[in-house]
Amino acid sequence: MRPRLANAALLTAVAAMVAACQTSAPTGPNRAALPTMERVALGANACWFKSGDPAFAAYKLAPELNSFSGRPRILLVHKGSPESRPLLVVQAEGSPSRLQAFGPMMSEPVAGRITTDVNRWSAGSKACS
């Protein structure tokens, strides 16, 4: 082999080895509507209900993740009457998902906390506030 060809071949081999050792950029959570709402439902269940949070003690979580409309959602209803009109609806649509939260609870002092928690969980965090 000629020296120039040997150097070129060596450079190509080294470049291939370096490229193979590099990791791809870390990927974030799946941003589609269903995975986003699954994260929100798990966070709400753990942080608002299973933790015994007094701000949510009068309510019950009603997840509706299997949506044929393409808008998976969770509902908060009165604990004693789950068939009543929801007090909070959090839903997502599209990919990347667009979140919406609405209902009477979004006019109460807890609305800021709901927004902060939902945004944190939808981004992939499992932390409670």
- 39-48 mean pLDDT: 98
The DSSP annotation for 31-72 comes to -SHHHHHHHHHHHHIIIIIIT--GGGTTEEEEEE---TTS--
pLDDT tens-digit map of 70-107: 899 999 999 999 889 999 999 999 999 999 999 999 99
Q: What is the pTM of this model?
A: 0.78
- The whole-angstrom separation of Cα 99 and Cα 71 is 10
